[in-house]
Structure 1
């Protein structure tokens, strides 16, 4: 494989504004990667910094770049993984995400859940990037935004704690932040025609560090996606990025069209910078704990951050003058907090970690998108078959930029024949809320109820997708000459937790997402799979599909068979979140609207763990938006500048459509939760949680 490189020498003022961001568009192939602000192994760093960021992933590097725009501010990033230079080709060539990925390597945290009773008693694998750039360096590059109603719901959930601060997270303000992070490039005309691509430039960013575009090579099969969904009554989306992110569309991807490389937090926010004397990024440095002192106001103040290379190496400490910012992701950030003595009192006592602050919500409210797929044989060319051929075409940068991008977000009325009845059954299941929450803390239970009610009463009957259905041409476990349609639930009613059971910060946390613990989740996945099978049988897409190989129509056709098969095959869609939820403290919240951890005077969390609800979206676009907002909030505080949204409280703009039944509606049972499997909501919950509380 050819050598790739990302950088060209550019000049950027240390105080450059967002509109003047330079260099994010100028990655070059076939040049040596320049580390610039990345400290080499054994290199020297200062003894103290204004800001110490724990985690050099999607959010961490974006935040570091923005904070260090202030030349009088010093910033250190501590990243547990290495620089990624040795695996640059694996990262930079987009289709290597499928054909030569970093999963299972030393650049993957390779987390595993505990066995999941409702998912075949399997321990599910949760890959996460352990490298500069984090999961933005290893993911499938989908670039999808949440919808207006989801972001406005998020803002409303923290509003009781901080009405003024909550507006940072509504649609209008997050849209501007997401646009600030991206440079959108329309597809070439032939790619647009072949893929039946529709887009609206008015909702897209034009000068941000991260590139969003379409692959440089397209298959005719992708162009058959939208008309097949339309034949089933599911309309295309004219602008999936403008607040109404439902229906069928071809998603943009985090790809730089100037050279067909992955655009991720390192290549976009860090590599184009000239050396900044106020920014250091230290790879292979695992944060082990935050060091605190008491303040006269009763809160705890972080004065240092401890880190080490391995569990056996000496621990080193960096001083903190202003703030510690956790950007370790949905797993890393609560893990660091708990090892620092901040978290549920019973968990820390059992793990042998001295308690600094009892904060019951740390690690709670954990949510994920669960997915599985139907596989067909095909005689058509696919990305996997061309890649396997090792042909001249397979070696071209344009072809190697092809990754999956055809998707549809399907609402409840498309999936369920009687959505109102289904909603009523889910509402009734909340009567036994204590059996659905892996905590006895009343604030955590209250938070579960708040998330549950927001999901059910605000999102569930809206137009936004409850399942995402994706077309995959990049190979399956059944071979290269196959095509898959994947199904992923988007707003789970199941919530889990993660916690520590050891005082060793190098030990992995215990991860229990409680997959499918709420029976509504398997129903939504089941109905999504049934729709996916109908999509595969609908022209013009059906012309490309042969025999259904997995699960096969003979093996799976009834609701019971679908549920049993799905429970045994679902896995992560790689979107864990919500484990340091932005909720009021009396709802098991961990951070407030300003992202500060409750009870800590100068520690914030800036990553996907702060989302209180799951979005019908892939998470990197909103995480970049989160990082941009965080940088604005922090710089405003220390620079004495008013927040841009502080002077205006205009209503959030955008439209919200109402769902309507379509020809795709399929469920005919009167009681939806009491499906053909014979389980009622209460029976499923009681069985699971009797086992859960036994440990």
Structure 2
């Protein structure tokens, strides 16, 4: 779940009329969906989590008909709410967040954010957060990916080369089938792109909406006038500058493309693939023997709900955790792998002390400036009730005006930014002594390694802030700023032996002073952008934070009271050397185990200046190659067979009605925002 995030407006409760359910039941056989009574007793691979990465792996691994795979997904299929999932604009107006399709996590009170408890929604459905997110397919910056490579390279350069920029870019291109924007959309938005930077044979549909709200046409000229150039090729290694992001949209029918429709549905007739929904993995089970001193996973236990029977299934080869930045570390800790102090306090027997599990948690924080406008926004058209507002073309619109800006823009020149960077690098020792929420020296060393990588290799070369245009509310336009390179690191931990008790999430937001300073500078820049033509010419009064927020201290107080997560959490199962609090090696294998891997966004050891979804697709594609190679060492081919056809998402399910009641809000005083993630 990417799923990536833009500031979205939560609307009045209005049904989506333009698109009906588009999951095709004919793809599915009784052999694909199984029940606890019809599962096999064993499978070659058990995948804990049917989200973005889990379904990519399930599809790619079962291309080999001799390999058997079981996917265990805690959520439902999504068929009952298929019309909501499939309709891009429903992300804003009929959100599934807060329903049974959402884990609805919450943080512990955040002292750096005025002791607020922040919401952390994650998709609980086949496809995970890729089924409910904002659909942004934004790729990271090469400096960040190569810094990740360099962090894990001490464990072996050959394996680490899987995580270089060139390698990850190839995998991201492999995952997608790109279609350029239609002429009318390109004319309004003026977006630039290069076909050669995209894939054209992958399962995931990547394109742009069928319609572009006219006010979006002010985005690139305004950013250019404000000193932020247009990025001509944001997907090929330089995402600095302003652009319109590619989205996970299927242009054959203007629906969401996500890991279920792209990877699972075309593979669902395979007899070697089983999917069990509403089944939560409670723990990994362990064999009595070991291999070279490493724990051997014998399989997993799972349950259909709190108080329900616990079932066991055997893994002949591997257990793969794909539960995301929350689920994967939680399962590891419940299985006895993690920091001993945490496990013992929770009453879990320690099988393997691995201090980094749940540590190094990083996330993006965002806030926005809101103005009145009399021009048409997506919201004003949507609520008009016109025939056009109900068409698939209009309902395919998602916000995609975006920019990544470097520090010299925010800090008024290279000299001022250099001074800011020096203040950060000069404070690494004190920060590691006071800000690391762990008693273990390995985690402290990892904190230092991440900190120094961010300060020295990434900040000078990457966008430290993301700026987004949001035009969902009727009568209002928002420009959001989102911190991309946080120096605050937190942790996630358990205090119970039950997977049905939510873990404690403590990102330690704003624990490092650089983060609030960067957010302050970013929002001051956003206000200036709003005062720059041509966007200025269609804006009225500033609604939030309003004219009373002027000084640096005003901004910082407002930020601590209003910033919210972009829902891009990373690093809770970080790919770092074990001596630096790492959890997985360069082959994604959990240290101290012979056959347990983690494949999801939790393994990224640093926070990218990008939404996570594109990177996770690339990660999962690479992981499938690694796993196949481990099972067949003599295999030389690194490319999966081209057996997945692109899916047009046609057909219907038995029910397209939502089982939830969206929240009704008034618009006359203030816009209310919902962060939807990728």
Q: Deviations over 1:433-492 (max 9, x none)?
A: 110110120000000000000000011112x200000000112xxxx2211001100010
Asked if 1:518 is matched to 2:512, the reply is yes
Q: Give the 3-state SS of the residue equivalent to 2:60 in structure 1.
A: helix
The Cα shift of 1:43 comes to 6.0
| Equivalenced residues, count | 618
Would the aligned equivalents of 1:632 and 1:643 in 2 still touch at CA under 8 Å? no
Root-mean-square deviation over aligned CA pairs: 1.5
How many Å separate the matches in 1 of 2:28 and 2:187? 38
Q: Which of 76, 94, 98 in structure 2 is aligned with 1:100?
A: 94
The Cα shift of 1:272 comes to 2.1
Q: Deviations over 1:574-595 (max 9, x none)?
A: 1011100000000000000000
Asked if 1:282 is matched to 2:281, the reply is no
Asked if 1:373 is matched to 2:368, the reply is yes
Q: Which of 40, 48, 68 in structure 1 is aligned with 2:42?
A: 48
Would the aligned equivalents of 1:179 and 1:208 in 2 still touch at CA under 8 Å? yes
Asked if 1:386 is matched to 2:392, the reply is no
Unmatched tracts of structure 2, length 5 or more = 1-16, 640-678
Unmatched tracts of structure 1, length 5 or more = 9-30, 647-695
Would the aligned equivalents of 2:61 and 2:67 in 1 still touch at CA under 8 Å? yes
Note the 1:498-647 alignment, pairs <5 A: 498-553=492-547, 555-642=548-635
How many Å separate the matches in 1 of 2:633 and 2:337? 30
The residue number in structure 1 matching 2:455 is 456
How many Å separate the matches in 2 of 1:200 and 1:89? 32
The residue number in structure 2 matching 1:441 is 440
The residue number in structure 2 matching 1:652 is none
Q: Give the 3-state SS of the residue equivalent to 1:159 in structure 2.
A: helix
Q: Give the 3-state SS of the residue equivalent to 2:433 in structure 1.
A: helix
How many Å separate the matches in 1 of 2:267 and 2:42? 22
The Cα shift of 1:494 comes to 0.2
Would the aligned equivalents of 2:600 and 2:620 in 1 still touch at CA under 8 Å? yes
The residue number in structure 1 matching 2:346 is 351
Q: Deviations over 1:151-170 (max 9, x none)?
A: 11111110001211000000
The residue number in structure 2 matching 1:11 is none
Q: Give the 3-state SS of the residue equivalent to 1:636 in structure 2.
A: helix
Q: Which of 127, 134, 140 in structure 2 is aligned with 1:140?
A: 134
The residue number in structure 1 matching 2:357 is 362
The Cα shift of 1:431 comes to 2.3
Q: Give the 3-state SS of the residue equivalent to 2:376 in structure 1.
A: coil
The residue number in structure 2 matching 1:19 is none
The Cα shift of 1:33 comes to 7.5
Distance 1:35 1:143, change over 3 A: farther
How many Å separate the matches in 2 of 1:369 and 1:267? 28
Q: Which of 258, 280, 288 in structure 2 is aligned with 1:264?
A: 258
Note the 1:144-183 alignment, pairs <5 A: 144-183=138-177
How many Å separate the matches in 1 of 2:449 and 2:254? 43
Distance 1:313 1:142, change over 3 A: same
Would the aligned equivalents of 1:35 and 1:271 in 2 still touch at CA under 8 Å? no
How many Å separate the matches in 2 of 1:625 and 1:80? 24
Note the 1:464-479 alignment, pairs <5 A: 464-475=462-473
The residue number in structure 2 matching 1:399 is 394
The Cα shift of 1:194 comes to 0.2
Q: Give the 3-state SS of the residue equivalent to 1:515 in structure 2.
A: coil
The residue number in structure 2 matching 1:429 is 427
Q: Deviations over 1:626-685 (max 9, x none)?
A: 000000011112123456689xxxxxxxxxxxxxxxxxxxxxxxxxxxxxxxxxxxxxxx
The Cα shift of 1:352 comes to 0.2
Would the aligned equivalents of 1:382 and 1:481 in 2 still touch at CA under 8 Å? yes
The Cα shift of 1:420 comes to 1.1
The Cα shift of 1:233 comes to 1.4
Q: Give the 3-state SS of the residue equivalent to 1:374 in structure 2.
A: strand
Structure number with higher relative contact order (C-alpha < 8 Å, ≥ 6 residues apart): 2
Q: Which of 286, 290, 294 in structure 2 is aligned with 1:295?
A: 290
The Cα shift of 1:116 comes to 0.2
Distance 1:168 1:521, change over 3 A: same
TM-score by length of 2: 0.89
How many Å separate the matches in 2 of 1:260 and 1:600? 44
The residue number in structure 1 matching 2:300 is 305
The Cα shift of 1:538 comes to 0.6
Would the aligned equivalents of 2:210 and 2:254 in 1 still touch at CA under 8 Å? yes
Q: Which of 99, 110, 123 in structure 2 is aligned with 1:129?
A: 123
The residue number in structure 2 matching 1:337 is 332
The residue number in structure 2 matching 1:4 is 20
Q: Deviations over 1:369-402 (max 9, x none)?
A: 0001111111011111111122111100010000
Asked if 1:233 is matched to 2:227, the reply is yes
Distance 1:32 1:122, change over 3 A: farther
Q: Deviations over 1:162-211 (max 9, x none)?
A: 21100000011111100010011000111101011111011101011111
How many Å separate the matches in 1 of 2:253 and 2:162? 35
Q: Give the 3-state SS of the residue equivalent to 1:593 in structure 2.
A: coil
Distance 1:193 1:36, change over 3 A: farther
The residue number in structure 2 matching 1:14 is none
